[in-house]
Structure 1
Amino acid sequence: MTARRKTFLGVAAMVMALGGCALASEPPAPEVGAQGSATPAAATPAAESALHDLLPERIRSAGVIRVASNIPYPPWEMYTTAGGQQPTGIDYDLSQALAAKLGVKASFDQTAFDSMIPAVMAGKADIVMAGIFDTPKRRESLSFVDYAKDGYSLLVAKGNPLGMKDVTDLSGKTVAVQSSTSEEAAIGKLSKRFESQGKEGVTALAFPGDSEAFLAIKSGKAVARVQATSAAAYAAKTFENGNAFELVDAPSITEEFGGGMEGIGVPKSDTELLTALQKALQALMDDGTYLKILSKYGVENIALTKAEINQGTD
């Protein structure tokens, strides 16, 4: 990944019990300004009345778009300090910019990963922004405004002690995944295929969040973490100042785990909000705000130039 920020607030120390594991660290957040809020990627975009008028009446009246997200998943969402409450990350910054362009505010609410879509469908949140992939399965409930194109990689211990090179090296290994994600299901399919070929399968060790999955690699309970390349590269660059993990990036990994479009999830029935977000995102792309946000986290290589709907594949 390119154009990484060279200075950070520091590494957020975190102690977690995982079968007697040692200390682990979360990736540091970007610099924090004097008032304790995340350093902005760009000036707050000016509201556009024409875009504001596209919003559903309930959101115009409330003045807030409620965003369900799952923290931490750096660089998409995280907290500025260990144990803090101030979110930062791609999704947080972009949600604030979209809301500003639409002339409203955006709340950014911590939600368990497997509860985000149910929360939106139950009316407890308006949208999902959590670096999630736009897939046909998810489009049974949601429509997506696509805002990044990402692949998949393996995150392994620094030095790659097992010499892993591609997806075939996962045979007979234990891999850390986040529960209820597409990669958890894909590991199951890969394991069955290996077994049908007379090879050893793959054991998926599922955790509710990234911190536990990363700790499993450090403790030796798992040999790798299957993860979107943007998140894996950020972790490799920032955990313990880059001394904990490294990236294994090969075309076969993306082909196996189905990298593609990541999108903002909106209930299928809420076409007004979907259209408003699409047009607001395009406005941010056109004025440079969108690219500045991605560049802030060193992931401008996943940028799109056009805000489209439901372009993800399985």
Structure 2
Amino acid sequence: MRKLTTVSVIAAAAFALVGCSDPQSTPTAQQSDSAAASGNTKTAITSFDVSTIPTVDEIAALVPQAIKERNILRNGASTDYAPGEFRAEDGQTPVGYDIDIVKALARVMGLSDGVTTHAEFPTILPALGTKFDVAASSFTITDERIQQAHMISYVNVGSAFAVAKGNPKKFDPTNVCGSTIGVQNGTFQHEYAQELSKKCVTEGKKEIKVMPLDLQTDVATKVVGGQYDATFADSTVVGYSIELSQGALEQVGDVIEALPQGIAVAQNDEALTQAVQKAMQYLMDKGYLTKILAAYGAQNAALSNAEVDPVQQ
């Protein structure tokens, strides 16, 4: 979960998770040779073919002339956060559901392509309107970010637990004291699990054995192998791990601490904001957003209403 104070960085895990073919090929298949925590020799992720999405003329008419003339929707993303945005096996090509969503938005808006360029996370929003037209990079919508840019909501991401298939350790997500939980080092969930452990001790219960590792794939492997009772990660990361494990993992319990994420557009670009909002709503209404997310096991994150600058509770 990318927040202002805590950034969950997948970084090198992206390469351990997936080695990708050209995301523009048909069909688009992303091949993993890492066994993705399941013991399988290969796992395939087949991205939804966004070339099947039609242009919607009334939405295309809203696109600013400069973007129409360029014929490309430029996206800035920090490509270190699987499954939203990461890099293919070549270490360069951006892939992930946010990359696919930008391409889908471009299709609806009558543009030839949506192109994602890597940028360091803190530099993206300030570059809107100059270097980038939009920013799809797992931006959690916050009041502070709404002061910097318009945010169009599209997914709701929180934290979730996953266990080995069948939950052999009988892990109870409502009673985690005394459990061994694997987390990715430095993430929101790492800190949250540590706080839960302190609460357990305060209440006179057994502490949680919080086991941080640098790669989420390594955490998942230990859950499948029985060393850890469960893993705790972003809900989209959990869904992606389950997808890659081919059923060796399963989610238990509800998604917690969920917040909407948004596509960012420059505050002074009302025309593009309206075009992106309507294009996103179209993707939602026609089921395309869910199909794009489903390839990465993230279909449950899809929202049904694309709001501009939604008020945070």
2:263 maps to 264
Cross-structure match for 1:108 = 116
How far residue 247 of structure 1 moved from its aligned partner, in angstroms, is 2.0
Flag the 1:295–1:223 CA change in 2: closer, same or farther, 3 A: closer
* 1:220-231 pair list within 5 angstroms: 223-231=229-237
Contact 1:183 1:226 survives alignment (8 Å): yes
Aligned residue type for 2:175:
T
Checking the alignment, whether the CA contact within 8 Å between 1:142 and 1:267 is kept in structure 2 is yes
* 1:169 counterpart SS class: coil
The CA deviation string for residues 192-248 of structure 1, in whole angstroms up to 9 with x for no partner, is 4334334425636263x6445435646777543323434423422432x323x2322
Counterparts of 2:286 and 2:308, CA distance in 1:
20
Structure with a larger share of its residues in strand: 2
* Residue aligning to 2:75: 66
TM-score for both structures, normalised by structure 2: 0.67
CA deviations on 1:260-293 (whole Å, 9 max, x unpaired) are 4232234556555433311221233345543443
Give the distance between the partners of 1:284 and 1:178, measured in 2 at CA: 35
Deviations 1:52-80 (A, max 9, x none): 5444x664564432231435623x4567x
Q: Secondary structure at the match of 2:114?
A: strand
Distance 1:308 1:196 in 2: 41
Q: Residue type matched to 2:264 in 1?
A: G
Correspondence 1:246 to 2:250:
yes
Distance (Å, rounded) in 1 between the aligned partners of 2:151 and 2:41: 33
- State the SS of the aligned residue for 1:45: coil
Residue of structure 2 in register with 1:277 after alignment: 276
| Corresponding residue of 2:202 | 196
- Structure 2: gaps spanning 5 or more residues: 1-26
Would you say the 8 A contact 2:35–2:43 is kept in 1?
no
Where in structure 2 are the equivalents of 1:1-314 lying within 5 Å?
Answer: 12-14=32-34, 28-30=44-46, 38=47, 40-41=49-50, 43-46=52-55, 48=57, 51=60, 53-55=62-64, 59-60=67-68, 62=70, 63-71=72-80, 73-74=82-83, 76-77=84-85, 82-83=89-90, 88-104=95-111, 105-110=113-118, 115-122=120-127, 125-136=132-143, 139=146, 141-169=148-176, 171=178, 173-177=180-184, 179=186, 181-199=187-205, 200=207, 203=210, 205=212, 207=214, 210-215=216-221, 217=223, 223-239=229-245, 241-243=246-248, 245-248=249-252, 250-251=253-254, 254-255=255-256, 258-266=257-265, 271-294=270-293, 300-311=299-310, 313=312
**Cα distance change of structure 1 residues 167 and 118 upon mapping to structure 2, 3 Å threshold:** farther
Do the aligned residues in 1 keep the contact of 2:157 with 2:301 (CA within 8 Å)? yes
TM (normalized to structure 1)? 0.67
Supply the distance in 2 between the matched residues of 1:136 and 1:171 (Cα, whole angstroms). 37
**In the alignment, residue 74 of structure 2 is paired with which amino acid?**
I
Shift of 1:191: 3.7
